[in-house]
């Protein structure tokens, strides 16, 4: 099986998954934002740049926005 066939099969599976569960990406993004909030309150030892850069906050916002934008086109029939 070639790389193109595997990629097509993966993208078909991913599209079907998000069509069946359209709220997964926004919930994942919100969980990352909550994780960032918890890490800001209780930073662990050697947390360093991970907490200072608010990495989970930014990643969570991007994932949630993409999820909200994809909910309507994916679920439309």
Integer Cα distance of 37 and 49 in angstroms: 15
What's the pLDDT at 76? 64
* Per-residue tens of pLDDT for the chain, all 77 residues: 899 999 999 999 988 898 888 899 999 999 999 999 999 998 878 888 888 899 999 999 999 999 998 887 766 65
Structure pTM? 0.80
- Ranges of each domain in the chain: 3-75
Q: How many CB atoms lie within 10 A of CB 2?
A: 7
H or E element that contains 76: none
């Amino acid at each position: 099986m070639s790389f193109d066939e595997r990629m097509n099969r993966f993208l078909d599976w991913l599209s079907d998954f998000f069509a069946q569960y359209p709220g997964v990406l926004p919930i994942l993004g919100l969980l990352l934002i909550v994780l960032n909030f918890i890490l800001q309150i209780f930073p662990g030892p050697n947390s360093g740049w991970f907490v200072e850069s608010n990495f989970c906050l930014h990643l969570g916002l991007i994932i949630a926005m993409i999820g909200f934008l994809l909910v309507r086109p994916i679920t439309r029939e």
